[in-house]
């Protein structure tokens, strides 16, 4: 059994010093190279529908395409400061979240500083979504190459188009509606590098389709619920309809395959899932925002981690990951190692929530929502 130090480079998953010691030192990097070697697999078995659930997903994808350039109301004006204020008022707690700030770096902050924090947080959050979507674009292109089944290749090809569209719309929203990009967060970058460097096709699925996309689906849903900005709300609604299919693709592809693996092979996947979960949780501490604002990062993160809404957000990120890992048999494989790790993370309560392999239809866009013809999503 590997130790926490061997998997995530620290014994205590909540060691703040260790978490914050990870930073992106290549801030001016434009092109990032990851060394990897993997097999490209042809199949001469072209029988369509040999895996009926994957075929159904493929047919669903073909009729669910939307155009990021024409189906979203880009003419919608976005006043970032007004959005920060509206979100704060709508979600309760005001700009400070109702926290006691006595003796903290925020004690003397006024509305101006809190609004600037909200603006930077918007820029940071959408930047990380954009970077993560490019990771999904690259990983899904690889799945087309190295998954051995024609039904999976067909579906993965539709997801490549989806991910290109997601990168496009997040980049456009950042460029035309917000006020600046952030470089990729170091924890997210480490995770994407690990996924891409592994040459096993099922690890690409597990890392991207189950873990990264599963967390993204939960995060998009959380922000969609909280934001008062109509263009972002509609953008996220469109993206969520795609992401639910993507996670289902991972569940449906891996479910039978994992039944064939040995306990040792399953434990490798458990460790990989745990590492991915911790890396993704760590990236949401927004350490780059605090640094840009000139606030002592450790003090800021320590305070924010105590905020009830932040704790709820951090926990809800796993609402899709835990039940999907259970459906794949990873939660209780062997000595239930992954179950114990999720207990340590405080997220095991989601194990009996609906898994995305069965619920993706509920995220589908209604007819009126396609082609820009519908009213705003609720």
Q: Check residue 368 and give its pLDDT.
A: 63
The string of pLDDT tens digits covering residues 24-48 is: 888 788 899 998 888 899 999 999 9
Structure tokens of 78?
């976005």
Q: Are 101 and 107 in contact (CB under 8 A)?
A: yes
Residue with tokens 């350039």: 69
Specify the pTM: 0.92
> Is 245's pLDDT higher than 80?
yes
Q: pLDDT at residue 377 above 70? A: no
pLDDT bin (cut points 50, 70, 90) of residue 302 is: confident
The two tokens of residue 302 are: 């320590």
C-alpha dihedral sign at 69, 154, 357, 49: positive
Q: What is the pLDDT of residue 355?
A: 85
> Which two three-digit tokens encode residue 49?
């529908």
Residue 92 has pLDDT above 80, yes or no: no
| pLDDT for res 367 | 64
Is the Cβ–Cβ distance between 225 and 291 less than 8 Å?
Answer: no
Closest CA to 160 of 171, 168, 150: 168
pLDDT value at position 378? 35
pLDDT in tens, 150-166: 999 999 999 999 999 99
Q: Hey, where are the domains in the chain?
A: 110-372
Could you tell me the CA-to-CA distances from 318 to 228, 245, 350, 353, 369 in Å, in that order?
24, 17, 7, 11, 28
- Overall fold of domain 110-372: Ferritin (1.20.1260)
Position 308 pLDDT exceeds 80:
no
- Indicate the pLDDT class of residue 93, thresholds 50, 70 and 90: low
Q: What angle do CA 101, 105, 111 make, to 5 degrees?
A: 70
Cβ neighbours, 10 Å, residue 96: 14
Of residues 310 and 342, which shows the higher confidence score?
342
**pLDDT for the residue numbered 374:** 37
Q: At what angle do helices 297-305 and 308-316 cross, to 10 degrees?
A: 80
pLDDT of residue 206: 97
Q: What is the mean pLDDT of the chain?
A: 91
279 pLDDT more than 60: yes
* Dist. CA 378–CA 334, nearest whole Å: 43
Judged against a pLDDT cut of 80, whether residue 376 lies above it is answered with no
Mean of the pLDDT values across residues 234-246? Answer: 96
Residue 370 has a pLDDT of: 61
What is the model's pLDDT at position 375?
A: 36
The pLDDT value recorded for residue 176 is 98
How far, in Å, CA of 60 to CA of 335, rounded?
Answer: 38
Across the range 298-302, mean pLDDT stands at 89
What pLDDT was estimated at residue 359? Answer: 79
Question: How far out from the chain centre does Cα 32 lie?
Answer: 20
Q: What is the pLDDT of residue 357?
A: 77
Asked if the model's pLDDT at residue 189 lies above 60, the reply is yes
pLDDT of 147 above 60? yes
Q: Which residue has the tokens 């991915």?
A: 276
């Amino acid at each position: 059994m590997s130790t926490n130090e061997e998997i995530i480079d620290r014994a205590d998953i909540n060691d703040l010093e260790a978490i914050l010691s990870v930073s992106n030192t290549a801030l001016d990097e434009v092109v990032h190279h990851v060394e990897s070697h993997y097999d490209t697999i042809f199949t001469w078995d072209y029988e369509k529908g040999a895996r009926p659930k994957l075929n159904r997903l493929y047919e669903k994808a073909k009729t669910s395409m939307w155009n990021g350039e024409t189906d979203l109301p880009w003419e919608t004006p976005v006043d970032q400061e007004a959005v920060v204020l509206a979100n704060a008022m709508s979600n309760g707690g005001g700009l400070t979240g109702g926290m006691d700030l006595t003796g903290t770096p925020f004690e003397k902050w006024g509305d101006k500083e809190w609004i600037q924090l909200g603006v930077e947080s918007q820029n940071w959050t959408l930047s990380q979504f954009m970077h993560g979507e490019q990771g999904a674009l690259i990983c899904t292109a690889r799945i087309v190459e190295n998954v051995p089944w024609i039904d999976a290749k067909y579906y993965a090809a539709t997801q490549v188009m989806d991910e290109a569209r997601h990168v496009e719309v997040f980049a456009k929203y950042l460029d035309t509606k917000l006020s600046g990009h952030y470089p990729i967060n170091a924890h997210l970058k480490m995770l994407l590098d690990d996924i891409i460097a592994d040459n096993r096709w099922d690890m690409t699925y597990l890392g991207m389709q189950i873990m990264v996309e599963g967390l993204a689906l939960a995060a998009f849903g959380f922000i969609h619920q909280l934001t008062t900005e109509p263009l972002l709300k509609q953008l996220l609604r469109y993206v969520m309809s795609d992401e639910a299919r993507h996670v289902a693709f991972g569940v449906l592809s891996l479910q039978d395959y994992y039944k064939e693996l040995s306990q040792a092979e399953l434990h490798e996947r458990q460790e990989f899932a745990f590492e991915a979960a911790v890396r993704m949780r760590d990236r949401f501490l927004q350490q780059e925002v605090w640094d840009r604002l000139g606030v002592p990062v450790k003090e800021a993160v320590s305070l924010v981690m105590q905020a009830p809404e932040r704790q709820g957000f951090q926990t809800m990120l796993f609402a899709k990951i835990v039940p999907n890992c259970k459906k794949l048999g990873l939660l209780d494989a062997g000595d239930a190692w992954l179950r114990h790790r999720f207990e340590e993370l405080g997220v095991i309560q989601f194990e009996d929530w609906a898994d995305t392999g069965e619920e993706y239809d509920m995220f589908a866009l209604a007819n009126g929502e396609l082609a820009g013809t519908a009213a705003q999503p609720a």
